[in-house]
Amino acid sequence: MGEETQIQPQPQTLIGTEIEPQPQSQPQEASSNNTVAATAAGAIIPVESELSNVPPHINSPATKIPLRPRKIRKVSPDPTTTSESQSETPKSATSTAGKSCGRHSNKSVQQQRALIVPRIVARSLSCEGEVEIALRYLRNADPLLSPLIDIHQPPTFDNFHTPFLALTRSILYQQLAFKAGTSIYTRFIALCGGEAGVVPETVLALNPQQLRQIGVSGRKASYLHDLARKYQNGILSDSAIVNMDDKSLFTMLTMVNGIGSWSVHMFMIFSLHRPDVLPINDLGVRKGVQILYNLEDLPRPSQMDQLCEKWRPYRSVASWYMWRFVEAKGTPSSAVAVATGAGLQQHQLEQHQQQQQQQQHSQQQLMDPMNSMFNIGAACAWGQ
């Protein structure tokens, strides 16, 4: 008991001296806390020795120590980690974005380099001045064509038929002389009520017997009906044909029975006036390339694209000059009349027919199977 009476006054005087501005309840709480801390530790140490070992300036924060760790634990660790994670996240995102931007920038640079290469976009050959532009281009691209361009009159692309009418006309002229084909076509037009009446519904309404009475064979009647059904079913239409690119158009039209690759190429050149069509299966164009480039053998269809690459994007016009070139050499082909039929007189067409009949057997041995079904009559239909 003597020790207790001696110990109690000392902490009060010391604590009281340290915390004079604060209320008296706080020193009592602090003294009781010190006593509890000492008993909880299980050590019998006089408070005098505790307070003497601790520097005086540390005693005052002792009352606030239990409150600070709670705030520090809640605030300081989490924001540090979150700030670090937040600071790291933008770095990683920035680096990832930088890499992706680098990849995109490389691609864009490559695309820009590709776009730097000049590329001529040709218009329809029926556009005003486009044929003259094509001739100037071909003179510079292939000097061997310059003499041909000087000798022959420039081609004209001024005939306009609806795609359905043009395709129907091509089928009717197949494997016929020009005069016989014209006779059948005239009767067919009369049966339909004029060229304006040649529509899918009218053609489907004509049965094979009616067509046979005007000279159309049963096979050609089936070709006409197949074309009309594809129009009626929506597989083909005039607007779709006009807006299709060359590759898609070739694929779609060759699905029609009786229309082969040669017929599609003629349709694209002389009905749609497409500027960059190369009839690789046409014997006249292949023969013209052989003579023009002084080749030993007739070029195969698979070689034509490479040989005529310099003519892009006006291969249709260059092909027209190949037909005229072969015609001047006295070796007419079925496609010569296609290119010149609109400007030839009737007696010239008859001469072409006679020459074609004489050389038909020899030409069929060289021509592509699809091309061999066409003769001078079918070809003349395209030029008119």
We find that the CATH architecture of domain 123-157+276-331 is Orthogonal Bundle (1.10)
| pLDDT, tens only, 204-261 | 999 999 999 999 999 999 999 999 999 999 999 999 999 999 999 999 999 999 999 9
| pLDDT, tens only, 11-48 | 444 444 444 444 444 444 444 444 444 444 444 444 44
C-beta of residue 275 within 8 angstroms of C-beta of residue 237: no
Which among 169, 134, 130 is positioned nearest to 149, based on CA atoms?
Answer: 134
- What are the residues whose beta carbons fall under 8 Å from the beta carbon of 183, sequence distance 6 or more? 215
The pLDDT-based confidence of 382 (bands split at 50, 70, 90) is low
Check residues 381 and 242 and name the one with the higher pLDDT. Answer: 242
Region(s) of the chain under CATH 1.10.1670.40: 123-157+276-331
Look at domain 158-272 and name its CATH class: mainly alpha
DSSP code at position 279: -
381 pLDDT above the threshold of 80:
no
C-beta of residue 308 within 8 angstroms of C-beta of residue 318: yes
Region(s) of the chain under CATH 1.10.340.30: 158-272
Across residues 311-335, what is the average pLDDT?
85
178 pLDDT above the threshold of 70:
yes
pLDDT of residue 205: 96
Cα three-residue angle 296-303-264, rounded to 5 degrees? 120
Distance, CA of 226 to CA of 242 (rounded, Å): 20
pLDDT of residue 361: 39
pLDDT of residue 107: 54
